[in-house]
Structure 1
Amino acid sequence: MKKKMFTILAKLNKILLPSFSKKQLDLGKATKFQLAIIGWRYYVTTKALG
C-alpha cells in the first residue's frame, strides 16, 4: 500500500515539480527552497523504488 502511494507521488512530482537536472542547476548555488524540492523528490523516489 505504501509503495503504491509513493509511486503515485513520484508521478505527480514528475509532472508538477521542476527538473533541476535538465536546467543544470549548480547545487552550490541552489536556494534553500530548491534544495528542499530536490530532497523531497529524492525521498519520494527512493521510497517508490524500495
Structure 2
Amino acid sequence: MVDVLLDFMLGPFRGIGEFYYEHQMIFNPIVILAAFGKMWVAKKNRQEVETS
C-alpha cells in the first residue's frame, strides 16, 4: 500500500530515493559535516560582529 502511494506521489523521482537508500552511508556524513560547518561559520561570523 505504501509503495503504491509513493509511486503515485513521486512518479519518476522514485529512483532518486532508491539511489539514496543504497548509498546513504556516503551521503549522511556529508550532510552532517555540511551542517556542522555551516554552524561553525555562523558562530565565527557572529563572534567577529560582536568584537567589532
Query: Shorter-chain-normalised TM-score: which range?
Result: 0.3 to 0.5
Query: Could you state the TM-score of these two structures normalised by the residue count of structure 2?
Result: 0.38
Query: Could you state the TM-score of these two structures normalised by the residue count of structure 1?
Result: 0.39
Structure with bigger gyration radius: 2
